[in-house]
Amino acid sequence: MTRHLTHICQGTCSRQIDIDIDGETILNVQFTGGCHGNTQGVAALVRGMRIDEVIARLDGIDCRGKGTSCPDQLARALKAAREK
């Protein structure tokens, strides 16, 4: 069953992340705002990956001392989705 998630970003240039998942697999990720090339790259790399793997790879990545980053925000969104 496909689920759609929308995450409002905190502390990053990207404002929102839209995520489609099927079970434990990421089908699609789209960032609104942020560094377009980087967010497109992250979205392409995680497509088809399992949620746990994405969280393990992206959780805690920092951008310019902000304490978070666009990839970290994606990990946080996926963690929140797993808790629901």
The CATH number that applies at residue 42 is: 3.30.390
pTM, whole model, 2 decimals?
A: 0.95
Rounded to whole angstroms, how far apart are CA atoms 50 and 58?
13
Q: How confident is the model at residue 17 (pLDDT cuts 50, 70, 90)?
A: very high
Phi, psi of 54 (to 5 degrees): -65, -45
**pLDDT of amino acid 33:** 96
Helices (H), 4-67: 36-46, 51-58
Residue-wise pLDDT for 38-77, tens only, equals 999 999 999 999 999 999 999 999 999 999 999 999 999 9
C-beta of residue 24 within 8 angstroms of C-beta of residue 52: yes
Domain region containing 43: 2-83
Q: What is the pLDDT of residue 52?
A: 97
The number of distinct structural domains making up the chain is 1
| Number of alpha helices (DSSP H) and beta strands (DSSP E) in the chain | 3, 3
